[in-house]
Amino acid sequence: MAFSQDKPALVIMAAGMGSRFGGLKQIAPIGLNGEPILAYSLYDARKAGFRKFVFVIKDEILGDFTSLVTSKIPADCEVKLVFQRVGNIPSIYSVPEGRVKPWGTSHAILAAKPVLNGPFAVINSDDYYGRGAFGPVYQFLETAEEGQYCMMAYNVANTLSENGGVTRGVCKVKDGLLTEVVETHEITKDTALASDTPVSMNLWGFTKGFLDTLEEGLDPFLVKALHENPLKGEYLLPDSVSSQLEKGAATVTVLRTNDRWYGVTYHEDLAPVQETLRGFQESGLYPKDLFAGK
């Protein structure tokens, strides 16, 4: 069942495998009370105006996810749980033997389509986006017309890991609008990119029609992926956006933040991220209880 009103919703993608991290980083304890990293995003998003949350998860984490996250969200918010399953593809296709990896971020958003009835933002569950990230996105979505999307771009220097190279969507921007996202691998501090190069951390804002675009693109993706990379091919959000830009079917306003991103790409990232974000709570930047609803 869809949400009761068409105010902007926030879709949280929490069904990834977390292979480099080595575990379920979606629910790894980060906060002072063992909250997962997404508790900080939920706090910030609620402060920005979001009251509708869609969590895209996989079946096997339902129990833990419910007890650690959804059962604690303030009562003034609407919550939906949807499942990204490898078998959720049109019946004319078969899941390749040995395929366990989800079909990617665009496929994750499609899992949320039945419950969305208006504009929506998208985030990863295992990223910390900063206090100032959600307000501009919410405000943009409140007045966006169909085909007007947005994304929050970060300075690449604020998104790196001390424990290895990272993959980022490097953004090309003209007159404040996105022209291209280039998936760039193994970025480190020594990579020849200017420190303020804008990159995407998968904080997007879309109008409802984008869901139809994703559905239309699923068949062409599957035809290609099942032929070329049946076990690991992914239907990715930046690719879907780029396709819209190439057709001239949408615009993407690039919002900028100087906030630092934190995440747990590698298991070794966990301790320093815990220390930093718990420090934010101890200093009063965040409350001791992230789910208090204040």
The parent domain of residue 179 ranges over 9-283
For 241-283, the pLDDT digits (tens) are 999 999 999 999 999 999 999 987 777 888 899 999 999 999 9
Q: What would the two tokens of residue 94 be?
A: 């078969």
For 22-41, the pLDDT digits (tens) are 445 567 789 998 888 999 99
H or E stretch covering 79: strand 78-83
Looking at residue 22, its pLDDT comes to 42
184 beta partners: 168
Contact (Cβ atoms closer than 8 angstroms) between residue 81 and residue 106: no
Looking at residue 293, its pLDDT comes to 64
> Is the pLDDT reported for residue 118 higher than 90?
yes
Residue 294 lies in a domain: no
Q: What is the DSSP letter of 100?
A: -
Query: Which amino acid makes up residue 28?
Result: A
Looking at residue 281, its pLDDT comes to 95
- 115 SS3 class: helix
Residue 290 lies in a domain: no
Looking at residue 24, its pLDDT comes to 58
For 235-249, the pLDDT digits (tens) are 999 899 999 999 999
Residue 3 lies in a domain: no
| Whole-number percent of the chain with pLDDT over 90 | 69
* Average pLDDT along the chain: 90
Give the pLDDT band (50/70/90) at residue 110. Answer: very high
Residue in this structure with the two tokens 């830009």, named with its chain if needed: 245
Contact (Cβ atoms closer than 8 angstroms) between residue 250 and residue 147: yes
Q: What would the two tokens of residue 222 be?
A: 């599957």
Give the pLDDT band (50/70/90) at residue 3. Answer: low
> Is the pLDDT reported for residue 71 higher than 70?
yes
The number of domains in the chain is: 1
Looking at residue 171, its pLDDT comes to 94
For 182-225, the pLDDT digits (tens) are 888 999 888 878 999 999 999 999 999 999 999 999 999 999 99
For 224-236, the pLDDT digits (tens) are 999 999 999 999 9
Q: What gap in Å lies between CA 143 and CA 256, rounded to an integer?
A: 19
Query: Which amino acid makes up residue 145?
Result: E
Looking at residue 21, its pLDDT comes to 38
Looking at residue 18, its pLDDT comes to 47
Residue 1 lies in a domain: no
Q: What gap in Å lies between CA 154 and CA 161, rounded to an integer?
A: 14
Residue 55 lies in a domain: yes
Residue 101 lies in a domain: yes
- 209 SS3 class: coil
Residue 217 lies in a domain: yes
State the distance between the two ends of the chain, measured CA to CA, in whole angstroms.
28
Report the CATH number that the domain containing residue 46 is assigned in CATH. 3.90.550.10
Beta strands in the chain (DSSP E): 9-13, 52-57, 78-83, 120-124, 127-128, 148-155, 166-174, 177-187, 198-206, 251-257, 262-263
Residue 288 lies in a domain: no
Q: What gap in Å lies between CA 241 and CA 223, rounded to an integer?
A: 19
Looking at residue 280, its pLDDT comes to 96
For 92-107, the pLDDT digits (tens) are 999 999 998 889 999 9
Q: What gap in Å lies between CA 191 and CA 175, rounded to an integer?
A: 26
Half-sphere exposure of 105 (CA within 13 A, CB side): 17
Pairing state between β 198-206 and 166-174 = antiparallel
